[in-house]
Structure 1
Amino acid sequence: CVLQGQTLTLLNASQGTSQHESMADSNNTSGPNFTPIDIAVFSIMLTASVLIGVYSGLKGRVTTTQEYLLGSRNLSPIPVLFSLLGGVISAISVLGQPSEIYMYGTQLIVLFVGLFPVCIFIHQVTLPILYNLKLVSINELLYNLILMGICLYAPSLALSTVTNLSTTTSIVILGVICTFYTSIGGVKAVVYTDVLQTSLMFLGLLAVVVICCLDLGGVGNVWTIADRGSRLQFFNFDPNPFVRHTFWSTMLLGVHIFLYLAAFNQITFQRLASVNTLQTSQRLCLAFVFGIIILWVLFFFSGLVAYAVYEDCDPLTSGKIEKPDQIIPFLVTDKLRNLPGMCGVFVAAIYGAVLSSISSTGNSMTCFIWQDFLKGAPFFRNLGEAGATNTLKVISLAIGAISIGLGMLAGKFGSVFVLISKLSSVIGGPLNGVFIAGICTPWVNAKGVMVGCVTSFVFNIWILIGTFISGKGGAVPLSLSTEGCSTAVTNASTVVFLNTSLTETQFNNTYLVHSLLDNTSTRAPSVNIISDNESRGDTIYDISYCYSGVMSIVMTLILANFVSLLTGPLSPSSHSEGVVSPSCGRFHQWVWQLWYSSTPHSQHNAQRPQKGQTSADVILETTGVVP
């Protein structure tokens, strides 16, 4: 979420040179501060978010914990769909994905291929189990708490730059606004404000893309220019794991991303569980996939539009910007600043993405803390529904206060926060493996699950630290030209300030796993970097970041099964009712009968554990999943 920090500084920069005559007139004008129209647009968005949240909380007073956390499992599917999209799509995607396409081409789009098998897996396997268990909590705490703090800092830095407010004041204002409507209205307030914020995010970037396409002569011209610049790449079938982006690596990246975002993610699950029937939840999951695709296509295409605009005068190479993720904010301030309110619309879109993510994360954390830590504690056990609901509101306020504090500290502990954010992303792969093992491999015992998860986690830490120490370089971008640049106007103080801000707060997490191995994507190319479509080396630290998530899952599953077979697999009767896939349960029963019918005297070696010893119970008791 730190990428928003790039938006703001650029709103004050005086930059711009054109290679397209239709846009040339904007180049010699100094970049603006927020105009009154921009301020009005931005203020309306914040005010509307508060009003919607308050209205949702006051209309039909929230009196039960189920209503506060899950909307009594009776929310309308359409607002929930918007909330699903807003909860997992942040400004990281709005700014990071276009820069990836701008620099490296469209091969990354193949990650869509990986979404469909995961969608089928969720629709047919995980969602029926988790929904029917009537779960409330399914998530870890540390990652979400740190994410909220860092998300607050970056946009607050942006707001302080364009409005002359101090960063601290901006953090407090945004934190209070988000905490206020989240704590009052619970999940209903979050869902209905997400409708506004997600719509702003989509429409704001769509407006930028449409205006630029019209100035360039249409989508066909954008596509032609992108093809001329070798940006259109889809079918690189090279099996070499050291090549950064191939068809195979990006497809597997899509598998990991969507497993993390949709299958076992608290924010997503809480919304899928807030509708009244399993069938509605399954249809919502399918709609979520297509919504993700629509948004990502817009983000990716905006990268092609940016390349078409700057085909002959790349702002990165010419020194106008120094980070690839600045390309879309630079495009807005450089080419569209003469349109009244356009900067306000764009910043509102960025903040819409930020607020939707923060509010969704805060609400999910409230759910997690209450369900897994406080609900069963002696002091809270005998609270009535009214008392429990008030407790949830206090928890939400406390989380907001902590996130505000972390936001203030983010700029002071820059490199530490980068390390913590990357360490938190290490958890995703092993946890996905744990959930899949518990649901799809019912013969796996607790020892196997723990060994697999811990080993995979340690392996990820080793790769993370080893990659950092070895200083492995990233890939060089595709060709970028400055032949059309007539001048090189750069505001040096802005560049220094921007680089300092990004160094302190960089949270380059365009994809959760991307921050694990490929931590150089926002740096300018150096002499040690090699081409994106060539092998990066032959050590384990050179393996493409796209594989790390799936590698963690596979490692967890293999070790869990291996250790379970060594220590004694579980019998079909050992797992809890309704926590494993029916198909996998039948397969387990068939293999068990086949094996022990031929070896009748060895059945006593099989484990028949008590509750708390099966892989499913490990998930239920140690990863935050509580019936």
Structure 2
Amino acid sequence: MNGTDSYAMASAQFTVPDYAVFVLMLVVSVAIGVHSAVRGGGSSSTQQYLLGGRRMSPIPVAISLLGGIISAISILGNATEMYYFGTQLSVNLLGCVLGTIITQWLILPLIYPLQIVSINEYIERRFKSSKLRKMATSCQLLQYSIYMGICLYAPALTLSTVTSLPTWASVVSMGVICTFYITIGGVKAVVYTDVVQTLLMFFGVLVVVIICCIRLGGLDEVWTISDQGHRIEFFNMNPSPFERHTFWTSIAHGIYLIVAYVGLNQQTYQRFASVETLTISLRLCTFFLFGLWVLWVLFYFSGLVAYATYSTCDPLTAGSIEKPDQIIPYLVVDKLGHIRGLPGLFVAAVYGGVLSSLSSTANSIACVIWEDFLKHREYFKGISDRSATNVIKMLSVATGLLAIALGLLAGNLGSIFQMTQTVLGAISGPLIGIFISGICVPWANAKGAAVGFIASFLSCLTLEVPEGRRLPADAPALRHRLQRHRRRRLGPQHHGIRLRD
């Protein structure tokens, strides 16, 4: 069977029940946004629209915090890394514990009591420089914009694998839906929709993993096949930073993820600030760590399940899929497509992840543009709170349109995990440096922070990813580089090893 025939087979397996499950998820998401807008009276104040009045219930906020960070990028990207490069990356969960401790002991006790709306306001207060604040905000907007594009592109890969819908149509439709409910409902719409989407994301992947495990002969069989394929590795103690994943780089990666995307992130800060007390915020952070472990262990294991299923015939090298990140969607339609409704449930789970993350990010972009660039300008100083809220809603619409445009371009940047960590890391690293220096270095001033930020930003953008760490989309290059990667891990005595087709 050639690649084209395989694609046709996959597309044909997305049936009416699958479409029904998928569309139902979208309808529920839009309905929640409409309900939040009606119940909230249109969110007549910026505090109500952006922070839910700082009196939101902790339980939905906790689930929203989880869904806003863990997206389709995690569902597809983490599984792909396990499939092609093994379990060493999963050690980053230990680093996440250390990152959570830093967030709870150092960051939240300092930021939360300030009662600010934009987290970048801390920079202005600490360094007494509005220019440095605007510089940091500009960097943050660049990071969020690229992230939204990747978020929209990730599920488009899934839908194009299981249906004949083109990628651009998927990106546009999801962008429009997300823009609609984030605009009319504000942060409450985001939070309550995140609850539905996060639960759907978890159970959708869980069902796929359980059924595949049963068919393969159980967890032990999946683990054995993965071990025989050299996918089980946790203690690669190589100190080289140029190895794709080692024990040390995975620990550092976990610390960075929590500090950058939870402790010093606008969208998570809005969740922390939407509850009444600092104590509740600290508990939210603990809940996030627990939920992260549960979801990421599931996503990581789904990659091993996929490897155990295709250990003798890789769909990418066989031409059955076009990109590495399509491996899990292909598994669903190839092995489970005969179960009506299950492909639809999985696609809904992936889209639930992207909608939760995209809506959180879009809301945050509108927030920082208003708070950091527009609020204090002469033209906007005299407007009413309701008018200010309408301005933020218009910013949300513009943000959604930007996400659609970037989502259409994201397909040219490589694998999902690679482009997320490389591109976003290069942008967010210098930004986190400003916050950390402000918190931990009392003698740091605005000039020093600005020079350090610019130097770090430029150096990060000019660094090239080593050739052996890239994951190409073309099958021949993939085979060659995966062989080279495995030889480095196993040592010179295994240089004759070959990948099985």
**Which residue is equivalent to 1:242?**
242
Contact 2:426 2:460 in 1 (8 A): yes
Q: CA deviation at 1:527?
A: 4.4
| Equivalent residue in structure 2 for 1:134, among 115, 135, 145 | 115
- For residues 10 and 114 of structure 2, what CA distance do their matches in structure 1 show? 59
Percent identical pairs in the alignment equals 52
- For residues 192 and 165 of structure 1, what CA distance do their matches in structure 2 show? 29
Deviations 1:519-572 (A, max 9, x none): 436554364673347389xxxxxxxxxxxxxxxxxxxxxxxxxxxxxxxxxxxx
**Which residue is equivalent to 1:379?**
379
Q: CA deviation at 1:251?
A: 0.8
**Which residue is equivalent to 1:608?**
none
Contact 2:161 2:330 in 1 (8 A): no
Contact 2:104 2:285 in 1 (8 A): yes
Q: CA deviation at 1:450?
A: 2.1
324-333 vs 337-346, greater mean Cα deviation: 324-333
- For residues 325 and 420 of structure 1, what CA distance do their matches in structure 2 show? 13
Contact 1:13 1:32 in 2 (8 A): no
Letter in 1 for 2:398: A
**Which residue is equivalent to 2:127?**
none
- For residues 10 and 410 of structure 2, what CA distance do their matches in structure 1 show? 31
Counterparts in 2 of 1:173 and 1:317: CA distance versus 1, 3 Å: closer
- For residues 106 and 391 of structure 1, what CA distance do their matches in structure 2 show? 46
**Which residue is equivalent to 1:36?**
16
Q: CA deviation at 1:147?
A: 3.0
Contact 2:61 2:191 in 1 (8 A): yes
Contact 1:115 1:254 in 2 (8 A): yes
- For residues 40 and 10 of structure 2, what CA distance do their matches in structure 1 show? 51
- For residues 369 and 32 of structure 1, what CA distance do their matches in structure 2 show? 45
- For residues 356 and 447 of structure 1, what CA distance do their matches in structure 2 show? 38
Deviations 1:120-160 (A, max 9, x none): 11101110111111121135112222332453355457657
| Equivalent residue in structure 1 for 2:488, among 534, 557, 563 | 534
**Which residue is equivalent to 2:56?**
75
Contact 1:160 1:167 in 2 (8 A): yes
- For residues 187 and 147 of structure 2, what CA distance do their matches in structure 1 show? 19
Q: CA deviation at 1:183?
A: 0.8
Structure 2 counterparts to residues 151-550 of structure 1, below 5 A: 151-153=151-153, 155-156=155-156, 159=159, 169-407=169-407, 424-464=424-464, 467=465, 472-474=466-468, 518-520=469-471, 524-525=477-478, 527=480, 530-532=484-486, 534=488
Q: CA deviation at 1:220?
A: 2.2
Q: CA deviation at 1:369?
A: 0.9
| Equivalent residue in structure 2 for 1:102, among 80, 83, 89 | 83
**Which residue is equivalent to 2:6?**
14
34-43 vs 222-231, greater mean Cα deviation: 222-231
**2:52 counterpart of 1:58:** no
Q: CA deviation at 1:435?
A: 0.6
- For residues 205 and 378 of structure 1, what CA distance do their matches in structure 2 show? 50
Deviations 1:371-403 (A, max 9, x none): 111111111111222222222222212222333
Deviations 1:307-332 (A, max 9, x none): 22223333334443353322211211
Counterparts in 2 of 1:440 and 1:374: CA distance versus 1, 3 Å: same
Contact 1:31 1:334 in 2 (8 A): no
How many residue pairs end up in the alignment? 463
Contact 1:142 1:424 in 2 (8 A): no
| Equivalent residue in structure 1 for 2:102, among 121, 140, 144 | 121
Letter in 2 for 1:348: A
Contact 2:73 2:154 in 1 (8 A): no
- For residues 160 and 334 of structure 2, what CA distance do their matches in structure 1 show? 20
Structure 2 counterparts to residues 560-575 of structure 1, below 5 A: none
- For residues 288 and 126 of structure 1, what CA distance do their matches in structure 2 show? 16
Letter in 1 for 2:263: A
Contact 1:197 1:352 in 2 (8 A): yes
Q: CA deviation at 1:166?
A: 5.9
Counterparts in 2 of 1:164 and 1:237: CA distance versus 1, 3 Å: closer
Deviations 1:266-286 (A, max 9, x none): 111111111110000000001
Of structures 1 and 2, the one scoring higher in RCO (CA 8 A, sep 6+) is 2
Deviations 1:396-440 (A, max 9, x none): 1222233334445667x879x999996554121111111111011
**2:24 counterpart of 1:47:** no
- For residues 382 and 10 of structure 2, what CA distance do their matches in structure 1 show? 64
Counterparts in 2 of 1:69 and 1:308: CA distance versus 1, 3 Å: same
- For residues 199 and 326 of structure 1, what CA distance do their matches in structure 2 show? 22
Q: CA deviation at 1:347?
A: 0.9
Letter in 2 for 1:473: E
Counterparts in 2 of 1:311 and 1:143: CA distance versus 1, 3 Å: same
**Which residue is equivalent to 1:512?**
none
Contact 1:208 1:332 in 2 (8 A): yes
384-393 vs 72-81, greater mean Cα deviation: 384-393
Letter in 2 for 1:50: V
- For residues 32 and 53 of structure 1, what CA distance do their matches in structure 2 show? 33
Find the residue that maps to 1:85 and give its secondary structure.
helix
- For residues 232 and 489 of structure 2, what CA distance do their matches in structure 1 show? 20
Contact 1:107 1:234 in 2 (8 A): yes
Counterparts in 2 of 1:280 and 1:325: CA distance versus 1, 3 Å: same
**Which residue is equivalent to 2:129?**
none
Counterparts in 2 of 1:300 and 1:161: CA distance versus 1, 3 Å: closer
**Which residue is equivalent to 1:573?**
none
Counterparts in 2 of 1:278 and 1:522: CA distance versus 1, 3 Å: farther
- Gaps (5+ residues) in structure 1? 1-9, 17-28, 475-517, 537-627
What TM-score do you get using the length of structure 1 for normalisation?
0.69
Letter in 2 for 1:279: T
Larger Rg over CA atoms:
1
**Which residue is equivalent to 1:617?**
none
Letter in 1 for 2:111: L
Contact 1:198 1:356 in 2 (8 A): yes
Counterparts in 2 of 1:53 and 1:306: CA distance versus 1, 3 Å: same
Find the residue that maps to 2:463 and give its secondary structure.
helix
Letter in 1 for 2:478: P
Contact 1:175 1:404 in 2 (8 A): yes
- Gaps (5+ residues) in structure 2? 120-136, 491-501
Q: CA deviation at 1:244?
A: 2.6
Let me know the Cα RMSD of the aligned residues. Answer: 2.9
Q: CA deviation at 1:37?
A: 0.5
**Which residue is equivalent to 1:603?**
none
Contact 2:7 2:161 in 1 (8 A): no
**Which residue is equivalent to 1:85?**
66
Deviations 1:322-367 (A, max 9, x none): 5332221121111001100111111111111111111111100111
What TM-score do you get using the length of structure 2 for normalisation?
0.85
Find the residue that maps to 1:235 and give its secondary structure.
coil
Counterparts in 2 of 1:445 and 1:370: CA distance versus 1, 3 Å: same
**2:92 counterpart of 1:111:** yes
- For residues 527 and 174 of structure 1, what CA distance do their matches in structure 2 show? 36
Contact 1:316 1:322 in 2 (8 A): yes
